[in-house]
Structure 1
Amino acid sequence: MSREVDYYILPTDTGSGDYGDYDSTSTTEPDIGFCDKSSVRTFRKYYEPLLYWLIFCVGAVGNLVVIWIYVNVRNRLKTMTDVYLFNLALADLLFLGTLPFWATDANSGWTFGLATCKMVSAVYKINFFSSMLLLTCISVDRYIAIVQATKAQNFKNKRLFYSKLVCVAIWLLSGLLSLPEFLFAQVKTDARDRSSCSMVYWNNDYNRTKILVLSLQISMGFCLPFLVMLYCYTVIIHTLLQARNFEKHKALRVIFAVVAVFVLSQLPYNSLLVVEATQATNITITDCKVVRHFDIATQVMKSLAYTHSCLNPVLYVFIGVRFRRDLLRILRACACGLGQGILSKQNSAPKRPSVMSDTEILSL
């Protein structure tokens, strides 16, 4: 376990990483100056806990409602979109479950031990990657449902089976991508005996390992999902513009909302991660004041990226026709105290037609 002080050698530590300060204990770097980062810790102490708890509460309610509707109202997953949305809600919920630990870490230090540090770090990364990859699968599924509608209808049962295999593959891949957290997450203590859970890379491979970890997060957590979403939704928009359907404008609004929220929440933080990876390759930021501002900006952009787990239920579920109808029925049942009767009527109601509108396909 390394001990961390409030002053850093600029070439070896300039970023704050995913959850706390990345640390290097290498003594081979030239001593060109020290940087006092106590102000960054103070900012994190007062900024992160309240915001993380707010994201946790709002996101937990939304994703729990999604899971509850799937389990108790719909009873089973009937389409590829259902499978992906259920797993997305589960991934977001588990991801949100790590935020109270980071809120406590920011406020009073890490008090949960090394094993919990590694576990929470790994769970955080597993569900981060799985959430991003599931968003990618949802865009592909909507591309198939609209652009390849005939083929999608002919292979409906096979698509449902394949979607379950894809979800298993996503969880396994996310587990592999989280291996750095199992290896490098450590509880480190500073000169004031304050502990924190952070990534501590091995001395001789510090820069190379850090670049690899950041590159995996940027490529698999943003670039791949963004490029796939951009292609799929561009083709979908082209298809809808050629279709004669009065609901296509509603569907287009759904697409623009999905893409805009993804880009606005994820692009700023990933841009800073690119800068951080560049720093590990070739130190360009050597001014202590700039380093502190960069670390604070990273904390702010990171919290903005986390809000996406709160918005997913709204973007992908609650604006959907069927989910909104299910939710309204539940709320009316709770208000009238006739929940059991209304839900039983719902289960006995005739099935909806198999052909759905563009808006429903895009926002189920």
Structure 2
Amino acid sequence: MTDSYEYYEENITLPIQLAVTFCENTEVDDFKGVFMPCFYSVVFVTGLLGNSLVIVTYVYYEKLKTVTDVYMMNLAIADLLFLCTLPFWAVDAYTEWIFGTFMCKIVNGAYTVNFYSCMLILTHVSVNRYKAIVQATKMLNNKNKKEHSMFICVGVWVFTLILTLPEFILSEAYTDMSDKTICIMMYPPKSGNIIKVGVHITQMVVGFLIPFVAMSLCYSIIAKTLLQAKGFQKHKSLKIIIAVVVAFVFCELPFNIVLLIKTLQIIKQEISSCEYTANVDYAIIVTESIAFVHCCLNPILYVFLGVKFRNSFLKILKDVGCISQKQLDGYLKTECETSRPVSGISETTTMYPL
């Protein structure tokens, strides 16, 4: 997790002649202590409900039958594990880090692993949707596509664990000059700036640039394909595509802009004033919190809008007694009549919430 008090790290990692003046920003502390616990609580509860529902549906009803199921299940797991780190950061913001160095390494590492995993899985979802719609014939001829998607997901988790090694190794519970314990990455004095820049660049590339480029390219081609086709669901599909891209940019772009500014400042080794540092701290707190909202939106954008998931959700409601079998049959019949595949596109694309 990018700590909002970067100047603590700079006091540790920068050479003596470049050390910055200690800034006691009590206003930032007060804002952080109120805003983060409240905001994180809402994100945690909302994301927990949505992603848990996705996992329950795929485990008990869908049984991971398709490529989509494999990706959506892994996305929900990554989101859920990511959200489980937020209570720790909420407590840290409200008081201080009270969980020790070991938990600092675990929580910070788990946060980063699942963040990277989520972003890379979204990238593969974009590519897979492109193949299913634009290259539908090739997808139909691929008999091992489910096994291939499982292999990709395993590769994503292993790759993200490797990327997160700095967080697992360097994260420590550190007591600052105001006797407040915080969980931060303690960079080595000589190579600290290089490692820090590398961590920030990795976060921007893997956490934003790669998925953004994949989404932009794949969904642009998908949109062009749908515009050239004839079908009832075309306009609805385009609206969902726009919603997916806009939600990603709205949630992730602001934080990455602030992170880029901080990275350039580290590279230039500029000394910051206390006022500038406080403004950057405010920006990080707000923009990073907005980025967390994406974990709540993923179940809606990628799963809940899909016909197959809605049908499974209705079966859950029937099993718990909320609706009758007659009501379920009537809805499924209506859904079957209205959810016809777009002309010229394989029926396999109806598996996707497009």
Normalized against structure 2, the TM-score is what?
Answer: 0.89
Q: CA deviation digits over 1:187-244, x for unaligned, max 9?
A: 0112343211111211111211110000000001110111011111111111111112
Given residue 73 of structure 1, which amino acid in structure 2 is its aligned partner?
A: Y
The CA deviation at 1:290 is: 2.2
Change (3 A) 1:294 1:285: farther
Q: CA deviation digits over 1:70-101, x for unaligned, max 9?
A: 11122x21111110000000000000000000
Q: In structure 2, which of residues 213, 216, 220 is the aligned counterpart of residue 230 of structure 1?
A: 216
Q: CA deviation digits over 1:275-328, x for unaligned, max 9?
A: 010010014573321221111011100000001001100000001111112213
**2: CA distance, partners of 1:285 / 1:223:** 28
- Unaligned runs of 5+ residues in structure 1 are 1-16
Change (3 A) 1:32 1:228: closer
How many residue pairs get aligned? The number is: 337
Given residue 48 of structure 1, which amino acid in structure 2 is its aligned partner?
A: M
Alignment partner of 1:54 is 2:45:
no
**Match for residue 347 of structure 2?**
356
On the 8 A contact 2:71/2:153 being kept in 1, the answer is yes
Alignment partner of 1:93 is 2:80:
yes
Change (3 A) 1:43 1:187: same
**Match for residue 182 of structure 1?**
168
**Match for residue 216 of structure 1?**
202
**2: CA distance, partners of 1:222 / 1:31:** 31
Q: CA deviation digits over 1:131-188, x for unaligned, max 9?
A: 0000001001100000000111111x31111100000000000101111101211101
User: Tell me, what secondary structure is at the counterpart of 2:172?
Assistant: strand
**Match for residue 302 of structure 1?**
288
Alignment partner of 1:240 is 2:226:
yes
On the 8 A contact 2:28/2:281 being kept in 1, the answer is yes
Q: Runs ≥4 in structure 1, deviation > 6 angstroms?
A: none
On the 8 A contact 1:133/1:170 being kept in 2, the answer is yes
**2: CA distance, partners of 1:20 / 1:252:** 38
Write out aligned runs for 1:1-364 (5 A). 18-22=2-6, 23-24=9-10, 25=12, 26-30=14-18, 33-74=21-62, 76-155=63-142, 157-284=143-270, 286-336=272-322, 356=347, 360-363=350-353
**Match for residue 6 of structure 1?**
none
User: Tell me, what secondary structure is at the counterpart of 1:188?
Assistant: strand
The CA deviation at 1:338 is: 6.9
User: Tell me, what secondary structure is at the counterpart of 1:78?
Assistant: coil
Q: CA deviation digits over 1:98-121, x for unaligned, max 9?
A: 000000111111111111110111
- Unaligned runs of 5+ residues in structure 2 are none
Normalized against structure 1, the TM-score is what?
Answer: 0.87
Q: CA deviation digits over 1:33-85, x for unaligned, max 9?
A: 553323222211111011111111110000000000011122x2111111000
Given residue 278 of structure 1, which amino acid in structure 2 is its aligned partner?
A: L
**2: CA distance, partners of 1:32 / 1:95:** 33
**2: CA distance, partners of 1:285 / 1:262:** 33
**2: CA distance, partners of 1:256 / 1:165:** 29
**Match for residue 10 of structure 1?**
none
The CA deviation at 1:353 is: 9.7
**Match for residue 11 of structure 1?**
none
Given residue 154 of structure 1, which amino acid in structure 2 is its aligned partner?
A: N
On the 8 A contact 2:70/2:150 being kept in 1, the answer is yes
User: Tell me, what secondary structure is at the counterpart of 1:196?
Assistant: strand
User: Tell me, what secondary structure is at the counterpart of 2:182?
Assistant: strand
**2: CA distance, partners of 1:289 / 1:255:** 41
On the 8 A contact 2:97/2:183 being kept in 1, the answer is yes
**1: CA distance, partners of 2:36 / 2:191:** 30
**2: CA distance, partners of 1:31 / 1:255:** 47
User: Tell me, what secondary structure is at the counterpart of 2:173?
Assistant: strand
On the 8 A contact 1:91/1:128 being kept in 2, the answer is yes
User: Tell me, what secondary structure is at the counterpart of 1:126?
Assistant: helix
**2: CA distance, partners of 1:154 / 1:311:** 33
Change (3 A) 1:161 1:261: same
In percent, how many aligned pairs have the same letter?
41
On the 8 A contact 1:255/1:362 being kept in 2, the answer is no
